[in-house]
């Protein structure tokens, strides 16, 4: 009887070793749980949107490299969503792959993250740009209105026509923060300037961004701030096309989420120009890295809302400042200090913007 038991036990142990050896897919870290693993699901903007999703992925890549992880299962990875129908499916795929922390990137993924988190209460999730009230979800938010105020100051002091544009992706509370903060920054330094606001209704349609920008520039607008993800790529495309036709025309785009100076490069007649005035940098990469680091150290902020603003360097203007005049940069710094000190409350909504505008009179 003892011999039979010993033989059976040896079979179980052998099978366990084989399963462990064969369990890995997509990286040297696969198969075991001796390493900490992280992964993310993009929204429809995709990993190469040169904006929001790309910044998040850069944060995960840096975390992976800093901690000796390999790309793939058991290390760090991402799944890209082609439509909103992919969100829950992709999140569940990462759950089955047993990643330690799983990120949903973007406001649009809120419902999917909530659903999958409820179904998997022992797993750890993080959502960027909205709040999911679940004990196993860390909610990462930003004070986009503060950063947008600063680029509004740049736009208001740079425009020659006093006509400025704002192009949003979808008309949702999140993008209203960008819009309201930007309009407030413009108005604070240039009461004579007007800001035309239009929404494309999507974050992944560059053709719509290009069409709206074409109409705005044709109307005399010389600075456009976009908060539209991949749709904003069309704004750059239109500005560069116009610059090629008339290199002397002063026409500008303000980028979003990361430094979009590379998107504004255009060559005309052997000379290089850049139509990117500045960008409102939202350090999604820093926030994603921060949550991963805390979680690895046993301090996963589940059930908490983390907010990154000017004091935390979570938002601000891009490091590339070649096209901004020194006196404008000085003004930006002065307004930044006022906001950090609490002397200026930046509006987050259109209602708050109207109150802010009235206070200036």
- 194 in Cβ contact with 221 (< 8 Å): no
- 342 in Cβ contact with 323 (< 8 Å): no
pLDDT-based confidence at 32, cuts 50/70/90? very low
Predicted pLDDT of residue 34: 62
- Is a pLDDT exceeding 50 seen at residue 22? no
pLDDT-based confidence at 51, cuts 50/70/90? confident
- Is a pLDDT exceeding 70 seen at residue 33? no
Q: Residue 306 in 3-state DSSP?
A: strand
Predicted pLDDT of residue 183: 98
322/286 Cα distance (integer angstroms): 24
Element housing 186 (H / E)? helix 173-189
Alpha-carbon separation of residue 352 from 145, 197, 316 (angstroms): 11, 16, 21
Name which residue leads in pLDDT, 245 or 49. Answer: 245
For range 319-347, the mean pLDDT: 97
Alpha-carbon separation of residue 8 from 19, 120, 222 (angstroms): 17, 34, 78
47/41 Cα distance (integer angstroms): 9
* E runs forming strands in 4-161: 38-41, 76-79, 101-105, 124-128, 137-142
Predicted pLDDT of residue 225: 98
Question: What percent of the chain stands above pLDDT 90?
Answer: 83
Pair of tokens at residue 232 = 């904003």
Q: What is the pLDDT of residues 133-149, one digit of tens each?
A: 999 999 999 999 999 99
Range with the poorest average pLDDT among 2-16, 46-60, 199-213: 2-16
Helix axes 110-119, 86-96, angle to 10 degrees: 40
Output the CA torsion 193→198→199→204 (10° steps). Answer: -80
pLDDT-based confidence at 52, cuts 50/70/90? confident
- Which strands make up the sheet holding 315-317, listed edge to edge? 194-199, 163-168, 223-227, 252-257, 276-282, 315-317
Extract long-range pairs of 217-220: CB within 8 Å, 24+ residues apart: 217/242, 217/251, 219/163, 220/161, 220/163
For range 266-281, the mean pLDDT: 96
- 250 in Cβ contact with 273 (< 8 Å): no
Nearest to 332 by CA among 271, 279, 295: 279
Q: What is the pLDDT of residues 72-122, one digit of tens each?
A: 999 999 999 999 999 999 999 999 999 999 999 998 899 999 999 999 999
Average pLDDT over all residues of the chain: 91
Predicted pLDDT of residue 214: 98
Q: Which domains does the chain have, with CATH numbers?
A: 31-142+285-308 (3.40.50.2300), 144-282+325-359 (3.40.50.2300)
Nearest to 161 by CA among 230, 224, 93: 224
Give the Cα-Cα-Cα angle 35, 88, 203 (nearest 5 degrees). Answer: 105
Nearest to 14 by CA among 4, 3, 26, 6: 6
Phi first, then psi: what are they for 358, rounded to 5°?
A: -65, -35
pLDDT-based confidence at 44, cuts 50/70/90? confident
281/55 Cα distance (integer angstroms): 10
Alpha helices in 219-349 (DSSP H): 233-245, 284-296, 326-340
């Amino acid at each position: 009887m003892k011999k039979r038991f010993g033989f059976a036990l040896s079979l179980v142990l052998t099978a366990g070793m084989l399963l462990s050896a064969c369990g890995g897919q997509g990286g040297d870290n696969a198969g075991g749980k001796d390493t900490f693993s992280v992964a993310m699901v993009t929204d429809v903007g995709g990993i190469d949107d040169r904006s929001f999703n790309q910044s998040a992925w850069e944060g995960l890549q840096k975390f992976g490299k800093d901690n000796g992880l390999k790309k793939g299962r058991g290390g760090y990875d991402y799944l890209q969503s082609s439509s909103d129908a992919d969100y829950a499916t992709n999140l569940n795929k990462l759950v089955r792959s047993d990643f330690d922390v799983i990120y949903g990137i973007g406001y649009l993924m809120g419902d999917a993250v909530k659903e999958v988190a409820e179904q998997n209460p022992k797993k750890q999730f993080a959502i960027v740009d909205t709040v999911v009230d679940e004990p196993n979800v860390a909610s990462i938010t930003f004070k986009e209105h503060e950063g947008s105020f600063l680029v509004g100051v740049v736009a208001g002091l740079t425009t020659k026509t006093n006509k400025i544009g704002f192009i949003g992706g979808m008309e949702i509370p999140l993008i209203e923060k960008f819009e309201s903060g930007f309009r407030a920054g413009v108005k604070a330094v240039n009461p004579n300037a007007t800001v035309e606001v239009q929404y494309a209704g999507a974050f992944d349609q560059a053709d719509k961004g290009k069409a709206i920008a074409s109409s705005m520039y044709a109307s005399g607008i010389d600075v456009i701030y976009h908060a539209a993800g991949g749709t904003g790529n069309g704004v750059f495309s239109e500005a560069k096309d116009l610059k090629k036709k008339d290199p002397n025309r002063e026409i500008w785009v303000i980028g979003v989420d990361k430094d979009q100076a590379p998107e504004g490069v255009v060559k005309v007649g052997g000379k290089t120009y850049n139509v990117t005035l500045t960008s409102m940098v939202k350090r999604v990469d820093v926030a994603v890295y921060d949550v991963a680091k805390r979680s690895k150290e046993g301090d996963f902020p589940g059930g908490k809302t983390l907010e990154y603003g000017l004091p935390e360097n979570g938002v601000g203007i891009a490091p590339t400042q070649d096209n901004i005049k020194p006196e404008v940069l000085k003004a930006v710094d002065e307004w930044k200090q006022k906001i950090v000190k609490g002397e200026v409350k930046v509006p987050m909504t259109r209602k708050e913007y109207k109150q802010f505008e009235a206070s200036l009179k």
